[in-house]
Amino acid sequence: MENETLVYDEWDHILVPAPGHGGAFYRVFYGSVSWTRKIEDMVAAVVVFMQNDGTEDFQEAKSRGVIQWHLPAHIFVADLPRVTQAIQTLSERNHK
């Protein structure tokens, strides 16, 4: 989790239920990321994580280990409209 802390800075998010994943959520994250793990390289981005529960607070979710850092967000086709809508909502809300 240490490396993820250096890569991601969440500014906003929407949790989208993932019914086919046994109570999991897609955490649609809006914030900054840095692949080099250097603050000066942070850029705005949208990221979709899989999350094991509905913990809203990013720091709490990280400390509880419910974000699946190394599991790609495999978005079921049936869930795609809701995830896409969350991305659109976050984009509109944060591009003022």
Residue where the block lists tokens 């280990």? 65
Closest among 45, 49, 24, 48 to 34, alpha carbons compared:
45
Show the domain range for 23. 2-94
Walk along the chain (96 residues) in steps of 10 and give the mean pLDDT of each run.
68 93 92 88 93 95 93 91 97 88
Quote the pLDDT of residue 1: 45
Domain count, the chain: 1
Quote the pLDDT of residue 4: 55
Quote the pLDDT of residue 5: 56
Quote the pLDDT of residue 80: 96
**CA 69-36-43 angle, 5° bins:** 85
Q: Whole-model pTM?
A: 0.87
